[in-house]
Structure formats: C-alpha cells, structure tokens
Amino acid sequence: MSVDGAAVRVEGLVKVFADRHRGTFRAVDGVSFECKGGEVLGLLGPNGAGKTTTLRILSTVLLPTEGKATIAGHDCVKDPVGVRGSLGFLSANTGLYPRLTPRETLAFFGRLHHLPEELIEARVEELLDLFDLKDIAGRRCEKLSTGQRQRVSLARTLVHDPPVLILDEPTTGLDILGTSAAMAFLQEKRAEGRAILFSTHVMPEAEKLCDRIAILHRGRILATGTLEGLRVQTGRRYLEDIFHVLLAST
Amino acid sequence: MNGADVALVFRREALEILRDRRTLLAGVLLPVLLYPLLFFGTERVRRAAKRSLEGREVAIAFSPGAEEARAAIEPRLEGRVCRLVSGSFDDADVSEGGVHAIVEVRPDPRTVVVRFRSNVELSAEAASRVSGAVEEWREEERLSRLAGAGLVPDPGAPFGFVSLDAAPPERAGGALLGRLLPLVLITVVISAGSFAALDAFAGERERGTLETLLVHPVSSVDLATGKYLAILATALGSSLLNLASLSATLLLAGGLGGERAGNLRLAPGSIAGALLLLVPTAALLAGLLAEVSARARSFREGQNYILPLVLASMIPGIAALLPGVVLDPFLALLPIAGPALALREVLKGSAATLPVAIAVASTFVYAGLLVRRVGGLLDAERILREEAPERATPGAGLHARSTLVATGGTFLVVFALGFPAQARDPIGGLLATLFGIVLPAAFLVARAARVRPGEAFGFLPFRPSHLLAGASLVPAASLLSAFVLAFQQSFLPVPEALAKEMAEKLQIGTLPTLVAFLLYAASPGVCEEMLFRGAVLRGLRRDLPRFRAVLLSSVLFAAFHFSFYRFFPQAALGVLLGFLTLRAGSLWPAIVLHAGHNALVLFAGDEVAILAFDPRFLLAAALGAAAAFWIVRRPRPR
C-alpha cells in the first residue's frame, strides 16, 4: 500500500505539559516535517528531546497544544479514527498480553480495526509466516523471548495493512540478530511504498536506514536533511559529530 | 458506545482472567472451599479432639477418709476408662504420667474436693469426669433426704421453666448467616474483583499494552467499559460460586447431621433476595476497584491502593451488622452498609419491603454514578503525563534526606526545650513550643529541602472553597480517628488515669471556650500543618511518590506527639491531611480540618466516639467527604 504526496505532514507542532508543582514544560516546541510514501524519516535525539511526545501526538493518544498534523490526509485532532486506521504504531517499551498467544494477539488487534473475520484469518496466517512465528503461534506470549515478542509486536502493526508506520525506538532491547531483522523489515516496508517514521538515539541505525534525518533537541528541530546534506551543512562525516556541531550552534 | 467493541474487549479480558492462576485462586478456589473448610474442617477437628480425649484412661486417686466418696463415685464412672487408686497423694503427684485427679473429703461442712491441674490435658479431663459423678451423687442424696423428711421433690423451686424457639429452622439459621454472609460476600467480591481490576487497568499500563490499545480505532470509553464489565463478571461469578458452595455445604451438612451446620438452612426466597442485593453491590465495588486501579501505574502500586479500599468497605459493612442496628430507610441509603443490613434482614426473614427497595435502588444509583466515571479512566493525556520524563535527576533522594534530618533536629529541640517548658507551664509552654519552635522549624525544614516557602505552604492563591472543603471533612476525620482509636482499644487500651491527667494538665473545662479553641485547635492547626503538610511533605515529595511521601510525613507527624497511645489515630489523620493537601495544592484545607478536628475532640470529647457508631453521623461524614473531594478536585491542565 502506498500514498501519494506527504503521508505524514507536521506543521508547527507544540505540546505543553502543565504540572501544578513544576509549572509548564514545553516537550515539543514548534516541530515541522514531512515524510513521503516509500521514505524512511528518522527522528534522532537524546532522551527527553521530544521524540516520543511527537510520535504520541501523531498516533492521536495526545492532543497537540498548537500546530497541525496529518497522517495519510487525516487530521490527527479532527479525525483520530481515520488516523488510527491508516497507522501502524509501535510505542517504546511496548508489551504484549502475557496470557494470549501470538495468533490470538494478532486476531484481537485485527478485530479492533473492525476487519472482517475471513480477512483477519488470512492476514494473521500471512503475518505469522512473514515473521517466522508459525512454530510459536500457539504459545503464550509470556513464554516468548524478547526477540520473538518484538516480532509479534512488529507483526501487530501490520495487521490492518496501514500506509504509514510509526515506530518509537523499535530496536530497544534487541540483540544484534534481532536488530538486523528489524532493520531488514523496515527496508522491506519502505520498498512496498509505505511511509516510515521512526525514532532512535542509536546513530549507526539512522545512518544505515534513513532517507532523511530530523535532529531533535529540547523539543525543537535543529536540522532536517539527507545524511549527505547534513554532512555538507556541518562539515563532519559521522552523524555523532554532526549532532555535536548542531548542538554547539544552538 | 459500540457494543461489538465493548464485547471484544470484555472477551479478551475475561480470557486472560480465566487463564490467570492468581484470579483462579482468589476467585474460584477460595470462595468455593471456604464453607466446607469452615464447617466440616472445624467440626471434624473438634470432634476428633474430643473423642481422642474421651477414650483415654485417667487415674483418679482417693485420699484417706474419702472411702465413702469412692464408693459413691465408682459406679457413676461405669463405662468410662478410669483407674481408681487409694492412698496419700499431694499436688506434686498430679502429672501426665502420674495420677490425674485427687479426691479428698473435708469435714465441717462436709466438702468433696477435687484437686487437678488445668494445664495437664488428662488432669482436666479427669476432673471433669469426677465433677460430673459428684454432681449426680449430690443430687441423688439431696432428693433422698427430701423424701426422708416427707417433702415434695423440690420445695425451693417456685415453678418450672422451658424456653421454646418458634422460629422455623431456616430462619434461625438465617439470623446466624445474616451476620456472616454480607461480610463474606463483600470480601469475595473485592478479592476476586481486585485481581481482575489490577490486571485490566494497572497491569495493562505496567506491561506497556495500554498505549498500543489506545492507538486503535476504538473509543477509550468502550475500552474502559469492556474492562469494567470483565471486573464485574469476575466479582459476580466468584460470589455466585461462593453462594452455591454455601448452599451445597449446608445441604450436605444437614444430610450428614452435622452438629452445628444441621440447623442452618437457606430458604429459596433468601437466596433470591441475596442475589438481588448482590448485583448492585458488586457493580458499585467493581466501579470502585476500576477507579482505584486505573489510577495506579503498576500492579504493586494498585495493591497499595486496594488495601485501604478493602478496609473502607468493610467498616460500613461491620458497622451495619452490629447488634441493635435496625434497617430503616435512612440507613438503607448508606453505600455498602445499606445493602449489607438489608441482606441480613432478608436472611432473617424479617425484612420490610421499603428499606430493602431503597437499599437496592440507591446502590444501583451509586453504581451508575461510578460507572459513568469509568469512561474517563483511560484518559491518555493523564496516563501518559504521569510517565513524563522528568525523573532520574542527579542527586535524587537528597531533598528527602535533608527533610528527614531537619525534622529530626526539630524533634530534638522540642524534646529538649519544649517539653520542659510545657511541664513548668502547660499553656505558656505549649504556645512557646508551637510558635517558638514548630513554626520557625517549618521554614528551616523547607529551606533544608530547598522548597520555596510559597511552594511549601501554598497559601496563595487563596480560595474560600478550600476552607469549606476542610470544614466538611471534619466529621469524616473524627470518624476515622475514633475508629482507629476504638480498634486500638481492643489490643492497647488507654489507661484511664492517663487520660484524666492529660485533661487536667490542659485545664480543659476551666478555660474560656475561645481561649481553649485558639490554644488547642487553631494554633496547632496552623503551626503543625505548616511543618508537616507544608515543609516536610513537600520536601519528601520532591524525591518520593505521593503515597510514600504522605505515609512517611504522617508517621513523623504521629511520632511528633510523643505519645504511644495517640500514634495510630494521629497517623491516620496525617494520611488524610496529607492527601488533602497534595490534592488541593494548598495548606488551607488541612489547617481548617486539623483545627476543626481538634475542636470537635476538645468540646465533644468522648461523645465523638459514641457518635462515630451512629449511622446518621456516618452519613454526614460520607456526604462531607464527598463534598470535600468534589471541591478540591484537580483542575484539568489545558
């Protein structure tokens, strides 16, 4: 599935958290970017940069204080149901229901998307195949390894075949094999024409996978561009150095 | 609301609950096995113990001069395994392996004495056998003397007396069950429901599945409703199993001729009535459990919240079941207490229709009000904000430590200077302690914890409604400390002399009312609140989660009164004051509540303790607490 034009469009996004004891806190402070179908955009930044909050606004679980965001043409504030139908979202530290099996898990989320039963059945088998989960499809999720669980979670994001994938630090907790499998998965989905937005603080991952990179710090975007463009802009070769130069210039 | 979505969420919750061993234990095994264990287990043990002792041989010694007694007693012990010996014995010979009872006869007046040791099982048994025989012997001799004197059998007895119970067996049994069953059912509903609730809400957050769930095209109201229904189904299912187990146990026990269970029977009408009352009560408790567990960030935090909820639900239940409390329309309105009393009356078969109907209807209304809130429980903005990434700052824990050290210093100063001053001059010393030590200490502790005074005390912005909130909590606070005190009395009674001495020292009764109020209510209200709910709680809160900060500050507050007997009531009061302050973001409600509570204890004294068990006071307290909760509800950040 693919979408024409910008699958994800974010303009002047602001999120202010109000805390009675600590005052207000601008977690996201005027962020704008776009991501087209068949493109991987990486949100790169240290902990607390505002990556997770931005992705949560896009996934409609949080409301923006200001600004506008659309996913596949659906407005995140005005049409959250449309957004959720077009989006596969993997939150950071995502979990699974411990006493459901992978097969039951995928079917449950398919039903939450109101897919017809025959389609769910076919899609679940297809995803179990794709993610090499056939052998463990009947085992409870609490008995699976971290890598197996992450595969179930990734499969879950695809159960309704969405044009946009938003993945918040999808490689956290994975070993080398798990990480490369996840990376291969992202490349494959890009080739299918999906728009992929993913956040990470692991620089080599971003270097390897992203078509474009947006660097976030304290709720603001310091720079957006291809890796090559950022190299030219900063005169540094490695992303880590690029990041430090951008940080120093603020 | 989308019924299919609710059903989908309900099915998944139910499936996971059924597959959870913990729920199975709390929701199925415990409620089902409770009665069989209770009736058959204890009955059996009792009988077995009795039988084994009855079958054992005991040695009974007759001292010189007790030959006549031996001749009279021996035939009356026929059929019991007894070994009779004659000779000189004393108390030292009574032991497990020696003789078990010594019978002697003293002259003038002729008295039969049985010596035994109650701490030796066989000796007690021997004494009981001999006593029975001696009683028989004496009665026979009395009757034969009367007959010898030509008198009617008993000229001393004016008339005979027999009492007959006209209640049918199932009603008599119902009265006994009525005392037990409401509490058992509340416990079963809560214990089974709480696992389901923790799993559905707090567990979902802990596992990281909640955010995933919220990004699906299902409304959060439907999600919460499905979860609520799963909790309710678990609670109801478990209590139905419990009722079925009770009926089966009673039937079996009746059939087997169990000594105590035999006359306990449940009329079919009582079972129907129990079900009618059970459904709304379970709906109400399930709503409470959902509310509580949705506020917890983890399973464990949820368990911390549920324990007070269990206690809070048991208290009205127990209060309603006290002897002498009769169900009237007014009492029927009380949540939990109303249906518990109604169930008791239904089981006794003496229920009036109107109060029972009111209890059922009002509980449905309360449950409905709670269920309306359920829809808002999965508010992502609130849930995700609580996980906001501003923890793990360097030097975490330092503020709490400085707070504790500074508070400890204050305690020392009060102990070294304040107490001697109060011993010399109770009134002047108290004022000096409060305004000369406690009040400055509030500022010093705030400084040590690096909390700005404005933030610590939260006097501004001033809201008149906060004063009202504090005042309307006074009955509930007094109730709380009265209950804690009453509970504490059962294992740690306050010596009366101490209470009297205290009252004399404070010169209560001799001071003008206004002076007494300012001295013992208003001044501690201001000074102690500024120290404990102001500086100490805010300082601890910088590093600790809400619950722990409140608990620790309450322990310090209770310890500050340097009285063993006042510790628990004060700590309970401190918890209430602490949560009130954090919720309101201001010290005003706590100051008014503290002063009001002290004034009530000061001027109403013991009457508060009596009032506390009056259902009308209970209702006033509940309404006041609800009003306060409503007034200081948190403003939604925009």
Q: How far is CA B16 from CA A209, B147, B196, B229, B333, in A?
A: 38, 81, 9, 14, 36
pLDDT (tens digit per residue) in A114-142:
999 999 999 999 999 888 899 999 999 99
Sheet holding B111-115, edge to edge: B82-86, B58-62, B101-106, B111-115
- Mean pLDDT confidence for B90-112: 87
3-state SS class at B423: helix
Please state whether the peptide bond connecting residue B389 to the residue before it is cis, i.e. omega within 30 degrees of 0: no
- Tell me whether residue B253 is exposed, middle or buried, using C-beta atoms within 10 angstroms of its C-beta: 0 to 12, 13 to 18, 19 or more: buried
Please state whether the peptide bond connecting residue B615 to the residue before it is cis, i.e. omega within 30 degrees of 0: no
Residues of A in CB contact (< 8 Å) with B are 17-22, 25, 27, 47-48, 52, 56, 59-63, 81, 84-85, 87, 89-91, 93-100, 104, 108-109, 111-114, 140, 153, 156
DSSP letters for chain A: ---SSEEEEEEEEEEEEEETTTEEEEEEEEEEEEEETT-EEEEE--TTSSHHHHHHHHTTSS--SEEEEEETTEETTT-HHHHHHTEEEE-TT----TTS-HHHHHHHHHHHTT--HHHHHHHHHHHHHHTT-GGGTTS-GGGS-HHHHHHHHHHHHTTT--SEEEEESTTTT--HHHHHHHHHHHHHHHHTT-EEEEEES-HHHHHHH-SEEEEEETTEEEEEE-HHHHHHHHT-SSHHHHHHHHHHT-
From the options 3.30.310.10, 3.40.50.300, 2.130.10.10, 3.40.50.1700, give the CATH code of A6-96+161-248. 3.40.50.300
B212 contacts on A by Cβ (under 8 Å): 89-91, 94-95, 109, 153, 156
Instruction: Tell how strand A195-200 and strand B111-115 pair up.
Output: unpaired
Touching A: B residues 206-265, CB under 8 Å: 207-209, 211-218
From the list A18, A97, A104, the residue facing B637 with the nearest CB is A18
Among A56, A84, A99, which would you mutate to test the B interface (most chain B Cβ atoms within 10 Å of its Cβ)?
A: A99
Q: Which residue has the tokens 């007034």?
A: B631
B637 contacts on A by Cβ (under 8 Å): 17-20
Range among A168-177, B29-38, B230-239 with highest mean pLDDT value: B230-239
Encoded tokens for B493: 């009674």
pLDDT of residue B617: 78
Q: How high is the mean pLDDT of chain A?
A: 88
pLDDT of residue B259: 44
Cβ of B498 under 8 Å from any chain A Cβ? no
Task: State which residue of chain B sits closest to A104, comparing Cα positions.
Answer: B12
pLDDT (tens digit per residue) in B22-79:
777 878 888 888 877 777 766 666 677 777 777 788 999 999 988 888 998 888 888 8
pLDDT of residue B492: 64
- Mean pLDDT confidence for B80-99: 86
User: Considering Cα of B144, then B145, then B147, then B148, what sign does the dihedral take?
Assistant: positive
Are B539 and B399 in contact by the 8 Å Cβ rule? The answer is yes
B53-57 LR contacts (CB < 8 Å, sep 24+): B53/B121, B53/B122, B53/B125, B54/B80, B54/B125, B55/B81, B56/B81, B56/B122, B56/B125, B57/B81, B57/B82, B57/B83
The answer, yes or no, to whether residue B430 has pLDDT greater than 60, is yes
Work out the pLDDT band at A109, boundaries 50, 70, 90: very high
Complex confidence, ipTM: 0.89
The answer, yes or no, to whether residue B161 has pLDDT greater than 70, is yes
DSSP letters for B296-345: -SSHHHHHHHHHHHHHHHHHHHHHHTSTT----HHHHTSTTHHHHHHHHH
Are B45 and B53 in contact by the 8 Å Cβ rule? The answer is no
- The verdict on a CB contact (< 8 Å) between A18 and B541 is no
The answer, yes or no, to whether residue B603 has pLDDT greater than 80, is no
Work out the pLDDT band at A4, boundaries 50, 70, 90: low
Q: How high is the mean pLDDT of chain B?
A: 81
**What one-character DSSP code corresponds to residue B94?**
B
The answer, yes or no, to whether residue B459 has pLDDT greater than 80, is no
pLDDT of residue A54: 93
pLDDT of residue B510: 73
B19 contacts on A by Cβ (under 8 Å): 99, 140
From the list A81, A100, A114, the residue facing B16 with the nearest CB is A100
pLDDT of residue A26: 87
Distance of alpha carbon A112 from alpha carbon A12, whole angstroms: 31
From the list A95, A109, A156, the residue facing B207 with the nearest CB is A95
Contact partners, residue A167, CB within 8 Å, separation at least 6: A89, A90, A157, A186, A196, A197, A198, A199
pLDDT of residue A10: 94
Count of Cβ atoms closer than 10 Å to residue B47 Cβ: 12
Write the class of the CATH domain B53-145: alpha beta
Q: Which residue has the higher pLDDT, B478 or B266?
A: B478
Are B290 and B228 in contact by the 8 Å Cβ rule? The answer is yes
The answer, yes or no, to whether residue B392 has pLDDT greater than 60, is no
User: Worst-scoring range by mean pLDDT, B63-67, B162-166, B351-355?
Assistant: B162-166
Among A16, A56, A66, A111, which would you mutate to test the B interface (most chain B Cβ atoms within 10 Å of its Cβ)?
A: A111
Encoded tokens for B529: 């609140």
The answer, yes or no, to whether residue B261 has pLDDT greater than 50, is no
pLDDT (tens digit per residue) in B546-571:
888 899 899 889 888 877 777 888 89
The answer, yes or no, to whether residue B495 has pLDDT greater than 70, is no
Among A91, A149, A154, which would you mutate to test the B interface (most chain B Cβ atoms within 10 Å of its Cβ)?
A: A91
pLDDT of residue B265: 63
Work out the pLDDT band at A208, boundaries 50, 70, 90: confident
Q: Which residue has the higher pLDDT, B632 or A116?
A: A116
Q: Which residue has the higher pLDDT, A35 or B165?
A: A35
From the list B12, B212, B638, the residue facing A91 with the nearest CB is B212
Q: Which amino acid is at B178?
A: G
User: Considering Cα of B197, then B202, then B207, then B208, what sign does the dihedral take?
Assistant: positive
- Mean pLDDT confidence for B483-504: 70
pLDDT of residue B634: 56
The answer, yes or no, to whether residue B622 has pLDDT greater than 90, is no
pLDDT of residue B528: 92
Residue A29 Cα, gap to closest chain B Cα (Å): 16
B451: left (phi over 0), alpha (psi -120 to 50) or beta: beta
The answer, yes or no, to whether residue B499 has pLDDT greater than 90, is no
Q: Name the helix (H) or strand (E) containing B501.
A: helix B496-505
Distance of alpha carbon B342 from alpha carbon B273, whole angstroms: 9
Task: State which residue of chain B sits closest to A142, comparing Cα positions.
Answer: B207
Count of Cβ atoms closer than 10 Å to residue B502 Cβ: 14
Encoded tokens for B402: 């400085």
pLDDT of residue B210: 87
Are B560 and B411 in contact by the 8 Å Cβ rule? The answer is yes
Are B457 and B591 in contact by the 8 Å Cβ rule? The answer is no
DSSP bridge pairs for A215: A44, A223
Distance of alpha carbon B436 from alpha carbon B527, whole angstroms: 10
Are B14 and B235 in contact by the 8 Å Cβ rule? The answer is no
Count of Cβ atoms closer than 10 Å to residue B363 Cβ: 26
Q: Which amino acid is at B585?
A: G
Contact partners, residue B97, CB within 8 Å, separation at least 6: none
Q: Which residue has the higher pLDDT, B415 or B536?
A: B536
pTM of the predicted model as reported, rounded to 2 decimal places: 0.65
Closest by CA position to B189, among listed B70, B77, B277, B302: B277
Are B424 and B409 in contact by the 8 Å Cβ rule? The answer is no
The three-point CA angle B494-B497-B502 to 5° equals: 85
Encoded tokens for B215: 């990004």
In this complex, how many residue pairs, one in chain A and one in chain B, have their CB atoms less than 8 Å apart?
90
- The verdict on a CB contact (< 8 Å) between A62 and B381 is yes
pLDDT of residue B15: 92
Work out the pLDDT band at B388, boundaries 50, 70, 90: very low
Q: How many CA atoms lie within 13 A of B155 on its CB side?
A: 8
Are B122 and B100 in contact by the 8 Å Cβ rule? The answer is yes
- The verdict on a CB contact (< 8 Å) between B209 and A96 is yes
- The verdict on a CB contact (< 8 Å) between A17 and B385 is yes
Encoded tokens for B453: 């005074």
Contact partners, residue B410, CB within 8 Å, separation at least 6: B437, B438, B441, B444, B445, B531
Distance of alpha carbon A220 from alpha carbon A27, whole angstroms: 9
A153 contacts on B by Cβ (under 8 Å): 212
DSSP letters for B577-591: HHHHHHHHTSSHHHH
pLDDT of residue A19: 64
H helices of B90-168, in order, are 121-148
Q: Which residue has the higher pLDDT, B533 or B488?
A: B533
Cβ of B136 under 8 Å from any chain A Cβ? no
User: Worst-scoring range by mean pLDDT, A207-221, B167-181, B221-235?
Assistant: B167-181
Please state the domain extents for chain B.
3-39+169-380, 53-145, 398-631
pLDDT (tens digit per residue) in A45-102:
888 889 989 999 999 988 899 999 999 999 999 998 899 999 999 988 788 999 999 9
Distance of alpha carbon A108 from alpha carbon B9, whole angstroms: 9
Q: How many CA atoms lie within 13 A of A146 on its CB side?
A: 12
Alpha-carbon radius of gyration of chain A: 18
- The verdict on a CB contact (< 8 Å) between A25 and B214 is no
User: Worst-scoring range by mean pLDDT, B266-280, B297-311, B581-595?
Assistant: B297-311
- The verdict on a CB contact (< 8 Å) between A114 and B217 is yes
Distance of alpha carbon B390 from alpha carbon B409, whole angstroms: 31
- The verdict on a CB contact (< 8 Å) between B8 and A156 is no
From the list B209, B216, B455, the residue facing A84 with the nearest CB is B216
The answer, yes or no, to whether residue B396 has pLDDT greater than 60, is no
From the list B8, B388, B390, the residue facing A111 with the nearest CB is B8
Distance of alpha carbon B524 from alpha carbon B510, whole angstroms: 20
Please state the domain extents for chain A.
6-96+161-248
Q: Which residue has the higher pLDDT, B71 or B301?
A: B71
Work out the pLDDT band at B178, boundaries 50, 70, 90: confident
Encoded tokens for B18: 């059924």
- The verdict on a CB contact (< 8 Å) between A112 and B217 is yes
Instruction: Tell how strand B58-62 and strand B82-86 pair up.
Output: parallel
Q: Which residue has the higher pLDDT, A91 or B169?
A: A91
Q: Which residue has the higher pLDDT, A132 or B634?
A: A132
DSSP bridge pairs for A33: A10
The answer, yes or no, to whether residue B637 has pLDDT greater than 60, is no
B635 contacts on A by Cβ (under 8 Å): 20
Task: State which residue of chain A sits closest to B211, comparing Cα positions.
Answer: A91
Residue B430 Cα, gap to closest chain A Cα (Å): 34
Q: Provide, rounded to the nearest whole percent, the portion of chain B with pLDDT above 90.
A: 15
DSSP letters for B47-58: HHHHHHHHTS-E
A143 contacts on B by Cβ (under 8 Å): none
Distance of alpha carbon A51 from alpha carbon A58, whole angstroms: 11
Cβ of B24 under 8 Å from any chain A Cβ? no
The answer, yes or no, to whether residue A106 has pLDDT greater than 90, is yes
Work out the pLDDT band at B390, boundaries 50, 70, 90: very low
